[in-house]
Chain A
Amino acid sequence: MMRKAVPFIRKDWQKRVEEIGFGFYEVDGLPYWDESAYYQFTSGEVDRLEEVTEELYGMCLKLVDYVVSHDLLERLGIPALFHDYVRQSWRRQEASIYGRFDFQYDGKGEPKLLEFNADTPTALFEASVVQYYWLQDFDPSKDQFNSIHEKLLDVMDHRLRSLAKGGVFYFSSVRGSLEDYTTSEYLRDVAMQAGIETGQIFIDDVGYDHDRRRFVDLEEKEIPCIFKLYPWEWMLKEPFAEYLLSTGMTFFEPPWKMILSNKAILPLLWEMYPHHPNLLAAHFAPPDTLTPFVEKPFFSREGEGITIGTSFSRRKEQVMYQEYRELPFFSGNYPVIGSWIVGSRSAGMGIREDTTPITNNLSRFVPHLFDQ
């Protein structure tokens, strides 16, 4: 694995990315999409990332089964009112579209799991489409660990089309975020290509029809299926939460993903698979050690609430502690590998880098390639 500066940047790159619907390549005047460099991998490194991603996903599914069968939902901070809702979703084996494992990886040792973004992962469009077209321009003879688009089409075609039952499948995100809107509309685009009838609705436009006891769109038509780029832990605290239990609307990601989007899975995985080569030591209690650990809230996004330290004197509610492993450092940048699982298959990766060791919502997306 190495980071390479490019000999040239596409002269009209802004126009090129806008043509494929990518509008948030800059944030607050700073670059988010950065093609002044790329990461180069060997095929062996890519093979390893692919294997580890599928192995970890298998371990995660076993963990969900363990949590459900041993009634550990309370421990994950999921409100008791929704325990049965989550359990039923798992027992019905409700389909999942995707998730993103974040790895610390330098190409030498084993990839180490930092976290699993199982509910509302983003940077999907950048990984699946934007870096694909970059490679087509830069050097189409090279390969890229990226069959995300094909695998999404496959999941939409074989698993989701039948769930839509000929009805409209809605895609939803928060109003005012072009990044989230693009991610949601990209998935809608793929669904349309799979022959699914689709609609778009912002999450705050979703209505509840008290007479019919159904969630409805802006024309008061029932919403049978919805992809929501909106975290479950937020939904459960909101006024419509109580209606979830009786409407029968199918959600993507499904309710059982509440378990895996919770950082409490990291100590649980460590308990189930102690010293697994792709896991970092993780605990619920502050570790009594001089080695640095990272304190992470069960529910946090984009590096929010994360602290690196050696001493955590006060035990807090709903936080966990994960062994600190320094990210690789290339020319002043710390890259994190985001490895995508689509359905249950490893599908590709995207890399985000930052000048600090905590990746956040302003970290840049940098493309990658590898030699076949």
Chain B
Amino acid sequence: MKKSRTVTLILLTSSLFLGCQDKVRNEYGSWDDCVKDYRDPSKCEATTTQGSGGYFHTSYFGPWYSRSNASSYVHNPSSVTGRAIGVSRGGFGGHGGHGGHGGHASS
């Protein structure tokens, strides 16, 4: 026999999977508040949306993290956890695609 006797999954069949539904991020009232919390502007993102009245509203977000302890490590990475100084991010992933199947890095 050349097929696996059994195939068991523990992570992919859990509620954590399919769609990163468990991922959340903190929203701030201003860009400065976000940068102050993460001490790193590259962690913050400003998103502008147009409301029904035609007014523009800008939201400020920190990075995504996992809400659940069950995913073992990605807790809220904001400054309440005591961040060190001198960490830069985004140095890998510059070629990475966004937007589904066509934007991947595999072959």
Bound pair (A, B):
yes
Contacts of A144 in B (CB 8 A): 2-3
Instruction: Select which of B8, B17, B81, B96 is within 8 A of A204 by beta carbon.
Output: B96
Q: Which residues of chain B are within 8 angstroms of A50 by Cβ–Cβ distance?
A: 2
- Chain B residues with CB below 8 A from A217, complex form: 73-74
Contact in complex: A218, B65 (CB < 8 Å):
yes
Tell yes or no: A104 within 8 A of B by CB: no
Select the residue from B12, B73, B84, B107 with max chain A CB neighbours within 10 A. Answer: B107
CA distance A172 to B53 in the complex (A): 41
Min distance, Cβ A10 to any Cβ of chain B, angstroms: 17
Please provide the chain B residues from 1 to 57 with a CB less than 8 Å away from any CB of chain A in the complex.
1-5, 7-13, 17-20
Name the 8 nearest CB pairs between A and B, nearest first. A21-B12, A240-B91, A204-B93, A174-B96, A122-B106, A176-B98, A177-B104, A199-B73
A-side contacts of B18, CB under 8 Å = 18, 21, 23
The residues of A with any CB-CB pair to B shorter than 8 Å are 18-21, 23-24, 27-28, 32, 46, 50, 117, 119-122, 125, 128-129, 132-133, 135, 143-150, 168, 173-183, 185-186, 188-189, 192-193, 197-211, 216-221, 228-231, 234-235, 237-240, 243, 301-302, 348, 361-362, 370, 372
A20 and B13 contact, Cβ closer than 8 Å, known pairs A220-B84, A235-B92:
yes
**With the chains together, A200 CA to B19 CA distance in Å?**
14
Q: How large is the interface on B (under 10, 10 to 19, 20 to 34, 35 or more residues)?
A: 35 or more
B2 engages A230 (CB within 8 Å): no
Question: CA A362 – CA B106 in complex, angstroms?
Answer: 13
**Alpha-carbon gap, A237 to B18, bound state (A):** 31
CA A23 – CA B17 in complex, angstroms? 10
Chain B positions near chain A (C-beta within 8 angstroms): 1-5, 7-13, 17-20, 63, 65-66, 71-75, 77, 81, 83-107
Cα(A40)–Cα(B13), bound, Å: 29
Q: Kindly count the residue-residue contacts between A and B in the assembled complex, taking CB atoms under 8 Å apart.
A: 218
- What are 22 residue pairs bridging A and B, where the CB atoms are less than 8 Å apart in the complex? A20-B12, A21-B9, A21-B18, A24-B101, A46-B2, A132-B7, A135-B3, A145-B3, A146-B2, A150-B4, A174-B96, A175-B96, A175-B98, A177-B104, A199-B72, A218-B74, A219-B77, A229-B105, A230-B96, A231-B107, A240-B91, A301-B107
